[in-house]
Structure 1
Amino acid sequence: MAERQYPLNIIIRAVDQITRPLRGMLGRVGQVTNGIRDRLLDLSNRSGLPVLVQSFRNVGTAVGDLAKRVATVGAGIAAMATAASVAIIGIGASVAETGERCGNSLRVLASRSRPCRSCSTLPGHTVSKTTRC
Protein backbone atom coordinates (compact mmCIF):
# COMPACT_ATOMS: atom_id res chain seq x y z
CA MET A 1 0.00 0.00 0.00
CA ALA A 2 1.33 3.30 -0.95
CA GLU A 3 1.02 6.07 1.53
CA ARG A 4 -0.33 9.35 0.40
CA GLN A 5 1.78 12.38 0.99
CA TYR A 6 0.14 15.69 1.70
CA PRO A 7 1.79 19.06 1.48
CA LEU A 8 2.89 20.45 4.85
CA ASN A 9 0.65 23.53 4.67
CA ILE A 10 -2.47 21.35 4.32
CA ILE A 11 -1.51 19.38 7.44
CA ILE A 12 -0.85 22.55 9.42
CA ARG A 13 -4.23 24.04 8.35
CA ALA A 14 -6.02 20.85 9.37
CA VAL A 15 -4.35 20.82 12.79
CA ASP A 16 -5.17 24.51 13.24
CA GLN A 17 -8.83 23.93 12.36
CA ILE A 18 -9.06 21.11 14.92
CA THR A 19 -7.15 22.84 17.72
CA ARG A 20 -8.64 26.35 17.31
CA PRO A 21 -11.95 25.45 19.03
CA LEU A 22 -10.06 23.53 21.73
CA ARG A 23 -7.81 26.51 22.39
CA GLY A 24 -10.86 28.74 22.62
CA MET A 25 -12.55 26.39 25.10
CA LEU A 26 -9.39 26.11 27.19
CA GLY A 27 -9.07 29.90 27.25
CA ARG A 28 -12.67 30.32 28.46
CA VAL A 29 -12.16 27.56 31.09
CA GLY A 30 -8.98 29.30 32.19
CA GLN A 31 -10.81 32.63 32.56
CA VAL A 32 -13.53 30.98 34.63
CA THR A 33 -11.09 29.11 36.83
CA ASN A 34 -8.96 32.23 37.28
CA GLY A 35 -12.07 34.11 38.41
CA ILE A 36 -13.01 31.32 40.82
CA ARG A 37 -9.42 31.09 42.07
CA ASP A 38 -9.29 34.85 42.65
CA ARG A 39 -12.62 34.79 44.52
CA LEU A 40 -11.51 31.85 46.68
CA LEU A 41 -8.20 33.57 47.43
CA ASP A 42 -10.04 36.77 48.37
CA LEU A 43 -12.49 34.82 50.56
CA SER A 44 -9.59 32.99 52.17
CA ASN A 45 -7.77 36.24 52.94
CA ARG A 46 -10.89 37.90 54.34
CA SER A 47 -11.69 34.90 56.54
CA GLY A 48 -8.21 34.95 58.07
CA LEU A 49 -7.35 31.47 56.85
CA PRO A 50 -3.72 32.34 55.98
CA VAL A 51 -3.27 33.80 59.46
CA LEU A 52 -4.75 30.64 60.97
CA VAL A 53 -2.49 28.43 58.87
CA GLN A 54 0.56 30.50 59.87
CA SER A 55 -0.52 30.28 63.51
CA PHE A 56 -0.65 26.50 63.27
CA ARG A 57 2.81 26.52 61.71
CA ASN A 58 4.08 28.72 64.53
CA VAL A 59 2.53 26.41 67.14
CA GLY A 60 4.11 23.40 65.45
CA THR A 61 7.49 25.11 65.42
CA ALA A 62 7.12 26.10 69.08
CA VAL A 63 6.17 22.55 70.09
CA GLY A 64 9.16 21.20 68.18
CA ASP A 65 11.48 23.70 69.88
CA LEU A 66 10.00 22.83 73.27
CA ALA A 67 10.54 19.13 72.65
CA LYS A 68 14.18 19.78 71.73
CA ARG A 69 14.71 21.88 74.84
CA VAL A 70 13.03 19.30 77.08
CA ALA A 71 15.27 16.62 75.59
CA THR A 72 18.34 18.78 76.20
CA VAL A 73 17.33 19.54 79.79
CA GLY A 74 16.44 15.88 80.35
CA ALA A 75 19.86 14.82 79.11
CA GLY A 76 21.48 17.35 81.46
CA ILE A 77 19.43 16.11 84.40
CA ALA A 78 20.30 12.50 83.55
CA ALA A 79 23.99 13.40 83.40
CA MET A 80 23.80 15.19 86.76
CA ALA A 81 21.88 12.28 88.31
CA THR A 82 24.51 9.87 87.01
CA ALA A 83 27.32 12.00 88.42
CA ALA A 84 25.50 12.32 91.75
CA SER A 85 24.97 8.54 91.87
CA VAL A 86 28.63 7.91 91.19
CA ALA A 87 29.57 10.42 93.90
CA ILE A 88 27.16 8.86 96.41
CA ILE A 89 28.49 5.39 95.62
CA GLY A 90 32.04 6.69 96.07
CA ILE A 91 31.12 8.34 99.39
CA GLY A 92 29.39 5.15 100.49
CA ALA A 93 32.47 3.11 99.64
CA SER A 94 34.67 5.55 101.57
CA VAL A 95 32.36 5.43 104.57
CA ALA A 96 32.28 1.64 104.43
CA GLU A 97 36.06 1.50 104.18
CA THR A 98 36.45 3.92 107.08
CA GLY A 99 33.90 2.00 109.11
CA GLU A 100 35.72 -1.21 108.43
CA ARG A 101 38.99 0.33 109.54
CA CYS A 102 37.39 1.67 112.69
CA GLY A 103 35.74 -1.66 113.36
CA ASN A 104 39.06 -3.43 112.98
CA SER A 105 40.69 -0.90 115.29
CA LEU A 106 37.94 -1.36 117.87
CA ARG A 107 38.26 -5.14 117.68
CA VAL A 108 42.01 -4.86 118.14
CA LEU A 109 41.53 -2.53 121.11
CA ALA A 110 38.86 -4.77 122.60
CA SER A 111 41.09 -7.81 122.34
CA ARG A 112 43.85 -5.95 124.18
CA SER A 113 41.68 -4.76 127.03
CA ARG A 114 41.06 -6.79 130.22
CA PRO A 115 39.00 -6.39 133.36
CA CYS A 116 40.56 -4.21 136.03
CA ARG A 117 42.02 -6.36 138.80
CA SER A 118 42.45 -3.59 141.30
CA CYS A 119 38.93 -2.19 141.10
CA SER A 120 36.95 -5.22 140.00
CA THR A 121 34.00 -3.94 142.01
CA LEU A 122 33.08 -1.53 139.15
CA PRO A 123 31.08 -3.56 136.66
CA GLY A 124 32.20 -3.23 133.05
CA HIS A 125 35.30 -1.19 133.88
CA THR A 126 38.23 -2.30 131.70
CA VAL A 127 41.75 -1.10 131.29
CA SER A 128 44.00 -1.79 128.36
CA LYS A 129 47.18 -3.78 128.76
CA THR A 130 49.27 -0.65 128.73
CA THR A 131 47.19 1.28 131.27
CA ARG A 132 47.32 0.54 134.97
CA CYS A 133 44.59 1.26 137.40
Structure 2
Amino acid sequence: MMHWKISLVIAALLTSMTGAALHYRALYLGAEQAQQHIQAQAEAQHAALAQVNRQMQTVAALDLQHTRELENDKKHIAQLEHDVAAGRRRLHAKVTVQSALPAPAAWAIQEPSNSLKLLDETFSLSDLESSATKQK
Protein backbone atom coordinates (compact mmCIF):
# COMPACT_ATOMS: atom_id res chain seq x y z
CA MET A 1 0.00 0.00 0.00
CA MET A 2 2.73 2.34 0.79
CA HIS A 3 4.37 1.92 -2.56
CA TRP A 4 1.56 3.42 -4.53
CA LYS A 5 1.38 6.44 -2.15
CA ILE A 6 5.08 7.08 -2.58
CA SER A 7 4.74 6.67 -6.34
CA LEU A 8 1.82 9.10 -6.31
CA VAL A 9 3.78 11.69 -4.30
CA ILE A 10 6.79 11.32 -6.61
CA ALA A 11 4.52 11.69 -9.68
CA ALA A 12 2.91 14.79 -8.16
CA LEU A 13 6.33 16.32 -7.43
CA LEU A 14 7.56 15.56 -10.95
CA THR A 15 4.39 17.07 -12.44
CA SER A 16 4.68 20.25 -10.38
CA MET A 17 8.41 20.55 -11.16
CA THR A 18 7.69 20.09 -14.88
CA GLY A 19 4.94 22.72 -14.70
CA ALA A 20 7.28 25.15 -12.89
CA ALA A 21 10.04 24.49 -15.43
CA LEU A 22 7.64 25.12 -18.35
CA HIS A 23 6.37 28.30 -16.67
CA TYR A 24 9.87 29.71 -16.15
CA ARG A 25 10.88 28.67 -19.67
CA ALA A 26 7.93 30.66 -21.07
CA LEU A 27 8.95 33.67 -18.97
CA TYR A 28 12.54 33.33 -20.21
CA LEU A 29 11.46 33.14 -23.86
CA GLY A 30 9.19 36.19 -23.42
CA ALA A 31 12.02 38.16 -21.82
CA GLU A 32 14.39 37.08 -24.60
CA GLN A 33 11.92 38.25 -27.28
CA ALA A 34 11.46 41.57 -25.49
CA GLN A 35 15.22 42.02 -25.33
CA GLN A 36 15.57 41.28 -29.06
CA HIS A 37 12.81 43.77 -29.84
CA ILE A 38 14.45 46.47 -27.71
CA GLN A 39 17.83 45.73 -29.28
CA ALA A 40 16.34 46.05 -32.79
CA GLN A 41 14.75 49.39 -31.83
CA ALA A 42 18.06 50.62 -30.41
CA GLU A 43 19.89 49.65 -33.61
CA ALA A 44 17.26 51.44 -35.74
CA GLN A 45 17.54 54.58 -33.61
CA HIS A 46 21.33 54.42 -33.79
CA ALA A 47 21.17 54.17 -37.60
CA ALA A 48 18.74 57.12 -37.76
CA LEU A 49 20.98 59.17 -35.47
CA ALA A 50 24.01 58.37 -37.64
CA GLN A 51 22.07 59.48 -40.73
CA VAL A 52 21.08 62.76 -39.06
CA ASN A 53 24.71 63.35 -38.04
CA ARG A 54 25.87 62.79 -41.64
CA GLN A 55 23.23 65.23 -42.89
CA MET A 56 24.27 67.81 -40.29
CA GLN A 57 27.90 67.50 -41.36
CA THR A 58 26.93 67.92 -45.02
CA VAL A 59 24.83 70.99 -44.24
CA ALA A 60 27.60 72.47 -42.10
CA ALA A 61 30.13 71.96 -44.91
CA LEU A 62 27.78 73.60 -47.45
CA ASP A 63 27.11 76.46 -45.05
CA LEU A 64 30.83 77.05 -44.58
CA GLN A 65 31.40 76.97 -48.36
CA HIS A 66 28.56 79.39 -49.06
CA THR A 67 29.66 81.72 -46.26
CA ARG A 68 33.16 81.86 -47.72
CA GLU A 69 31.77 82.52 -51.21
CA LEU A 70 29.54 85.28 -49.84
CA GLU A 71 32.43 86.95 -48.02
CA ASN A 72 34.58 86.71 -51.15
CA ASP A 73 31.81 88.21 -53.30
CA LYS A 74 31.26 91.03 -50.78
CA LYS A 75 34.98 91.84 -50.86
CA HIS A 76 34.94 91.79 -54.67
CA ILE A 77 31.89 94.11 -54.79
CA ALA A 78 33.53 96.50 -52.31
CA GLN A 79 36.71 96.54 -54.43
CA LEU A 80 34.72 97.23 -57.60
CA GLU A 81 32.79 100.05 -55.88
CA HIS A 82 36.09 101.53 -54.69
CA ASP A 83 37.60 101.28 -58.20
CA VAL A 84 34.53 102.95 -59.76
CA ALA A 85 34.60 105.73 -57.16
CA ALA A 86 38.33 106.25 -57.73
CA GLY A 87 37.84 106.35 -61.51
CA ARG A 88 39.96 103.28 -62.26
CA ARG A 89 36.94 101.44 -63.68
CA ARG A 90 33.79 102.44 -65.47
CA LEU A 91 30.37 101.04 -64.91
CA HIS A 92 28.51 99.99 -68.04
CA ALA A 93 24.90 98.89 -67.83
CA LYS A 94 23.08 97.23 -70.68
CA VAL A 95 19.40 97.95 -70.13
CA THR A 96 16.35 96.98 -72.12
CA VAL A 97 13.05 98.63 -71.32
CA GLN A 98 9.92 96.60 -71.68
CA SER A 99 6.40 97.92 -71.92
CA ALA A 100 4.88 98.12 -68.46
CA LEU A 101 1.38 97.36 -69.73
CA PRO A 102 0.49 94.67 -72.22
CA ALA A 103 -1.38 95.63 -75.40
CA PRO A 104 -5.13 95.92 -74.83
CA ALA A 105 -7.34 93.10 -75.94
CA ALA A 106 -9.23 93.40 -79.23
CA TRP A 107 -12.60 93.77 -77.48
CA ALA A 108 -11.33 96.77 -75.54
CA ILE A 109 -10.60 98.71 -78.73
CA GLN A 110 -13.95 98.07 -80.44
CA GLU A 111 -16.81 100.51 -80.35
CA PRO A 112 -19.51 99.73 -77.79
CA SER A 113 -22.46 97.81 -79.14
CA ASN A 114 -25.79 99.44 -79.92
CA SER A 115 -27.39 97.83 -76.88
CA LEU A 116 -25.10 99.77 -74.56
CA LYS A 117 -26.05 103.03 -76.28
CA LEU A 118 -29.73 102.16 -75.95
CA LEU A 119 -29.23 101.35 -72.31
CA ASP A 120 -27.51 104.70 -71.76
CA GLU A 121 -30.35 106.52 -73.53
CA THR A 122 -32.95 104.64 -71.50
CA PHE A 123 -31.41 105.63 -68.23
CA SER A 124 -30.92 109.22 -69.28
CA LEU A 125 -34.52 109.43 -70.60
CA SER A 126 -35.98 107.88 -67.49
CA ASP A 127 -34.09 110.39 -65.39
CA LEU A 128 -35.46 113.23 -67.53
CA GLU A 129 -38.99 111.78 -67.47
CA SER A 130 -38.94 111.27 -63.71
CA SER A 131 -37.72 114.80 -63.16
CA ALA A 132 -40.37 116.14 -65.57
CA THR A 133 -43.07 114.14 -63.78
CA LYS A 134 -41.96 115.48 -60.42
CA GLN A 135 -42.05 119.06 -61.68
CA LYS A 136 -45.70 118.79 -62.90
Normalising by structure 1, we get a TM-score of: 0.53
Q: Give the partner amino acid of 1:130.
A: L
Which residue is equivalent to 1:79? 47
Which residue is equivalent to 2:81? 113
1:69 & 1:49 partners in 2: Cα distance?
30
Q: Which runs of 5+ in 2 are unaligned?
A: 93-136
Which residue is equivalent to 1:124? none
Q: CA deviation at 1:44?
A: 6.0
2:40 & 2:67 partners in 1: Cα distance?
40
1:52-91 → structure 2 map (5 Å cutoff): 52-91=20-59
Q: CA deviation at 1:69?
A: 1.1
Which residue is equivalent to 1:16? none
Match of 2:11 among 25, 41, 57: 41
Q: How many residues align?
A: 88
Q: Which runs of 5+ in 1 are unaligned?
A: 1-30, 118-127
Q: Judge conservation of contact 1:113–1:129 (CA < 8 Å) in 2.
A: no
Q: Which has the higher contact order (CA 8 A, sep 6+)?
A: 1
Q: Give the partner amino acid of 1:67.
A: Q
Normalising by structure 2, we get a TM-score of: 0.52
Q: CA deviation at 1:43?
A: 5.1
Q: CA deviation at 1:49?
A: 5.1
Question: Is 1:130 the counterpart of 2:91 in the alignment?
Answer: yes
Deviations 1:68-125 (A, max 9, x none): 11111111111111111111101111111111111110111112223x97xxxxxxxx
Q: Judge conservation of contact 1:44–1:50 (CA < 8 Å) in 2.
A: yes
Q: CA deviation at 1:60?
A: 0.7
Q: Greater strand percent: which structure? A: 1
Alignment identity in percent? 8
SS at match of 1:130: coil
